[in-house]
Amino acid sequence: MRIHVQNPEAVHMEVSPELWHEACARAGAIAEGHEISFGTDEAAFAAAMQTADILITATSALAKRIPFTAPRLKMVFCTSAGVDRLMPADWLPPGAKLLNNSGVHSAKSGEYAAMALLMLNARIPGAIAAQQTGTWKPFLTPTLRGKHVTVVGTGTLGAAAARAARQFGAHVTGVRRGHDPHPDFDAVVSTDRLDDILPTSQFLVLACPLTAATRNLMTRQRLERLPKGAGIVNVGRGGLVEQEALCDLLDSGHLRGAILDVFVPEPLPQGHRVWTTKNLVATAHMAADDPTTYYSDSLDIFFTNLTALVDGHPLPNLVDLTHGY
Amino acid sequence: MRIHVQNPEAVHMEVSPELWHEACARAGAIAEGHEISFGTDEAAFAAAMQTADILITATSALAKRIPFTAPRLKMVFCTSAGVDRLMPADWLPPGAKLLNNSGVHSAKSGEYAAMALLMLNARIPGAIAAQQTGTWKPFLTPTLRGKHVTVVGTGTLGAAAARAARQFGAHVTGVRRGHDPHPDFDAVVSTDRLDDILPTSQFLVLACPLTAATRNLMTRQRLERLPKGAGIVNVGRGGLVEQEALCDLLDSGHLRGAILDVFVPEPLPQGHRVWTTKNLVATAHMAADDPTTYYSDSLDIFFTNLTALVDGHPLPNLVDLTHGY
């Protein structure tokens, strides 16, 4: 096949020829016989799209080139788990399949979720604030064992968060579109029951895709349903939560802490309210990315999907265009 | 036996009659037939010591009453793991045994160690500093898996830290007085080999007692042996490390972060250098205490030791007066 890799311009090459060849060696026969090209600028993209069967691209490098012409394109593999910036996918050539990179983030984001829950439970946001005023203020708290953690999203990120929380003995309820049980969760409820379980959720982890159905899922009203003293973690997308309401409820003390990795907008500008909201720890969209393994793992996921395509099997990372993830 | 509980004055009663009676119910026959008293002030202490066989006390409530007269005293159970403030134990009546509360802290301190290692590995100290200046600064880091963590101390706290680090796939080396293997560690070396392993220790956790042998164990010279970018956690005692040198090496950037729970002095006063040292997160001696279980667990440990005393078996929590822990 004719495969093109479109890397972002501003950063160093992400999927380098070297990484590609290493991934081909790992993948074996499925990686043989293809014609590969690499590009970063507009001219390279336009030229490659005339003949490419498969496009491998950062979401950012693709979003700004929509719509485009690609008469032979069969598959687009995005090196992000979230493809919300590509929706609706009306730009996708007829018959072409859109794939996300779900799975690449689980180890790192599981560590982030464990860290964030332990920080919230130990009241580290309060300790940071006390340190900033030079005040000795012990927060003596119980362990995480037996605490009620609700995780919205039971995909790769959500399941990693659930495993992390259960390592420390927390009781974890997953919230998903359906309500099928999931082995990494103590219980699973469907999204329409979210309102019912918020009042007993001592910690809430947002780990679902941003879609038409989940945008502003955590409205002010829902945030207020969390019990006083609750903590919130967001490793999904900033748009999942009504950010101003979240800041209000932290400043008022109804919520005791938040560890957030995603925001609206990104990057957060200087002077934005989020930076100085009480008991809010903000990290710059870094929860899920392990730079030492990210692109090699991504290419392994790509070849797994390519094998499925060639064999006529369901593609593990196929984006459901109706639901947007 | 005649048992006296001396609680600190300034705080609410720690070992209350209610907790005592609940513990007696759990302990069974060994808890029957004793005469119990509770006190917080000097008069109650002096009166009780005339007849007491056993003293249960917070270290703080005992330290300020040394020396004292207690002609019948056989056993002193301190509700702290560290008894450094009671050393040398020349005040102990002849034949009386000093017991610490080792074991009560393990679940909470294990969580703290896991949190601190994850925070250092994810460069949260840098993220906090970026937030304070309103700057969007992603730190993309690999996971903790395969990282080299050295834990000084293989007792209750050290072993809990080791288990926490190994949950995330770190390679953990313990440092102890001897060099017997320990099931919670990948490797164990004796203290005289500390200098050899510091250069490959990406993270150093201090979790040992403060004794004559460990005071200032981490001198400036030893801290400098840690590799550039290393992180340090202290859940033991502030006096284990040359604090000024630690601050210097954080401010210079040789060390990338520190999560510290113990200091010299405590409480840290307003304006102390520690509060504003670069990439240092300070918590107020709260790493190991779970207020919901602390005193009930302590009393369970007490009755385990009382059983051993009555049966003539070795006391699990006996302090070795030569080594000071």
**Residues of B whose CB is below 8 A from A270:** 134-135
Residue for token pair 């313990």: B174
Check CB contact under 8 Å for A143 and B290: yes
Q: Considering CB atoms only, which of B115, B266, B275 is closest to A115?
A: B115
Check CB contact under 8 Å for B111 and A143: yes
In this predicted structure, the answer to whether residue A51 has a pLDDT above a threshold of 70 is: yes
Residue B137 contacts A where some CB pair is shorter than 8 Å: yes
d(C-alpha B221, C-alpha A220), whole Å: 54
Give the architecture-level CATH label for domain B2-104+291-311. Answer: 3-Layer(aba) Sandwich (3.40)
**DSSP assignments along B204-258, one per residue:** EEE-S---TTTTT-B-HHHHHHSPTTEEEEE-S-GGGB-HHHHHHHHHTTSEEEE
Residue A4 is inside which H or E element, if any? strand A2-6
In this predicted structure, the answer to whether residue A12 has a pLDDT above a threshold of 70 is: no
Read off the pLDDT of each residue in B138-149 and give the average, rounded to a whole number. Answer: 95
Residue B11 contacts A where some CB pair is shorter than 8 Å: no
How many helices (H) and strands (E) chain B has is answered by 11, 12
d(C-alpha B146, C-alpha A239), whole Å: 35
Check CB contact under 8 Å for A111 and B131: no
Identical fold for domains B2-104+291-311 and B106-282, yes or no, is yes
Searching chain A, which residue's CA lies closest to the CA of residue B137? A284
Check CB contact under 8 Å for B284 and A139: yes
Cβ within 8 Å of residue A154, ≥6 positions away: A162, A174, A175, A176, A182, A184, A185, A188
Task: Give the model confidence (pLDDT) of A243-265 as tens digits.
Answer: 999 999 999 999 999 999 999 99
pTM (predicted TM-score): 0.88
Task: Give the model confidence (pLDDT) of A286-322 as tens digits.
Answer: 998 888 898 999 999 999 999 999 999 999 999 999 8
Q: Which CATH superfamily is domain A2-104+290-311 in?
A: NAD(P)-binding Rossmann-like Domain (3.40.50.720)
Closest CA to A134 of B266, B205, B157, B276: B276
Instruction: Enter the DSSP assignment of A179.
Output: -
Cβ A70 vs Cβ A49: under 8 Å: yes
Check CB contact under 8 Å for A284 and B128: no
Q: Considering CB atoms only, which of A124, A130, A286 is closest to B138?
A: A286
Domain boundaries, chain B: 2-104+291-311, 106-282
d(C-alpha B47, C-alpha B26), whole Å: 29
Cβ A80 vs Cβ A101: under 8 Å: yes
d(C-alpha A320, C-alpha B208), whole Å: 54
Task: Give the model confidence (pLDDT) of B61-107 as tens digits.
Answer: 999 999 999 999 999 999 987 899 999 999 999 889 999 999 888 89
Task: Give the model confidence (pLDDT) of B252-311 as tens digits.
Answer: 999 999 999 999 999 999 999 999 999 999 999 999 888 889 899 999 999 999 999 999
Q: Considering CB atoms only, which of B111, B282, B285 is closest to A131?
A: B282
273-312 in A: which are within 8 Å (CB) of B? 275-276, 281-286, 289-293
Task: Give the model confidence (pLDDT) of B2-19 as tens digits.
Answer: 999 999 887 766 899 999
Task: Please tell me the distance in Å from A214's CA to the nearest CA on chain B.
Answer: 25
* pLDDT given for residue A202 in this prediction: 98
163-192 in A: which are within 8 Å (CB) of B? 167-168
**Percent of chain B residues topping a pLDDT of 90:** 89
Task: Please tell me the distance in Å from A116's CA to the nearest CA on chain B.
Answer: 8
Tokens of A48: 């490659």
**Residues of A whose CB is below 8 A from B140:** 286, 289-291
* pLDDT given for residue A81 in this prediction: 79
Task: Give Cα A288 distance to the centre of its chain.
Answer: 7
Say whether the peptide bond before residue B265 is cis (omega within 30 degrees of 0).
yes
More confident position, B82 or A114: A114
Q: Considering CB atoms only, which of A108, A134, A266 is closest to B270?
A: A134
223-262 in A: which are within 8 Å (CB) of B? none
Tokens of A290: 């392990």
Burial B205-227 (b: 16+ CB within 10 A, else e): bbbbbbbeebeebbeeebbebbe
Q: What is the CA radius of gyration of chain B?
A: 21
Residue for token pair 């950010």: A243
Check CB contact under 8 Å for B107 and A282: no
In this predicted structure, the answer to whether residue B213 has a pLDDT above a threshold of 70 is: yes
Searching chain B, which residue's CA lies closest to the CA of residue A138? B284
Task: Please tell me the distance in Å from B251's CA to the nearest CA on chain A.
Answer: 16
Chain A and chain B share a number of CB contacts under 8 A equal to 138
Residue A12 contacts B where some CB pair is shorter than 8 Å: no
Task: Give the model confidence (pLDDT) of A266-291 as tens digits.
Answer: 999 999 999 999 999 999 999 988 88
* pLDDT given for residue A23 in this prediction: 96
* pLDDT given for residue B96 in this prediction: 94
Task: Give Cα A264 distance to the centre of its chain.
Answer: 14
Closest CA to B5 of B33, B51, B38: B38
In this predicted structure, the answer to whether residue A97 has a pLDDT above a threshold of 90 is: yes
Mean residue pLDDT across chain B: 95
**DSSP assignments along B182-210, one per residue:** -TT-SEEEEGGGHHHHGGG-SEEEE-S--
Searching chain B, which residue's CA lies closest to the CA of residue A123? B283
Searching chain B, which residue's CA lies closest to the CA of residue A141? B290
Dihedral of CA atoms A214, A219, A221, A225 in degrees, nearest 10, equals: 70
In this predicted structure, the answer to whether residue B120 has a pLDDT above a threshold of 70 is: yes
Read off the pLDDT of each residue in A112-138 and give the average, rounded to a whole number. Answer: 98
Task: Please tell me the distance in Å from A312's CA to the nearest CA on chain B.
Answer: 35
Searching chain B, which residue's CA lies closest to the CA of residue A273? B134
Check CB contact under 8 Å for A134 and B283: no
Which parts of chain B are beta strand (E)?
Answer: 2-6, 35-39, 54-57, 75-78, 97-99, 148-152, 171-176, 187-190, 203-206, 230-234, 255-260, 280-282
Place B194 in a pLDDT band, splitting at 50, 70 and 90: very high
Cβ A46 vs Cβ A37: under 8 Å: no
**Residues of B whose CB is below 8 A from A144:** 111
* pLDDT given for residue B62 in this prediction: 93
Read off the pLDDT of each residue in A35-58 and give the average, rounded to a whole number. Answer: 96
Residue B141 contacts A where some CB pair is shorter than 8 Å: yes
d(C-alpha B19, C-alpha B302), whole Å: 13
In this predicted structure, the answer to whether residue A24 has a pLDDT above a threshold of 70 is: yes
Cβ B101 vs Cβ B301: under 8 Å: yes
In this predicted structure, the answer to whether residue B244 has a pLDDT above a threshold of 80 is: yes
Residue for token pair 């081909």: A24
Q: What is the CA radius of gyration of chain A?
A: 21
* pLDDT given for residue B81 in this prediction: 79
Residue A3 contacts B where some CB pair is shorter than 8 Å: no
Residue B272 contacts A where some CB pair is shorter than 8 Å: yes
* pLDDT given for residue B14 in this prediction: 86
Residue B119 contacts A where some CB pair is shorter than 8 Å: yes
* pLDDT given for residue B325 in this prediction: 87
**Residues of A whose CB is below 8 A from B167:** 167
* pLDDT given for residue A33 in this prediction: 95
Task: Please tell me the distance in Å from B57's CA to the nearest CA on chain A.
Answer: 20
d(C-alpha B281, C-alpha B258), whole Å: 6
CA angle centred on A140, ends A138 and A143, rounded to 5°: 145
Q: Which CATH superfamily is domain A106-282 in?
A: NAD(P)-binding Rossmann-like Domain (3.40.50.720)
Read off the pLDDT of each residue in B38-42 and give the average, rounded to a whole number. Answer: 94
d(C-alpha B306, C-alpha B304), whole Å: 6
Residue A47 is inside which H or E element, if any? helix A42-49
CA B292 vs CA A115, A142, B95, B157, B230: distances in Å: 22, 6, 34, 19, 34
For residue A274, the SS3 value is helix
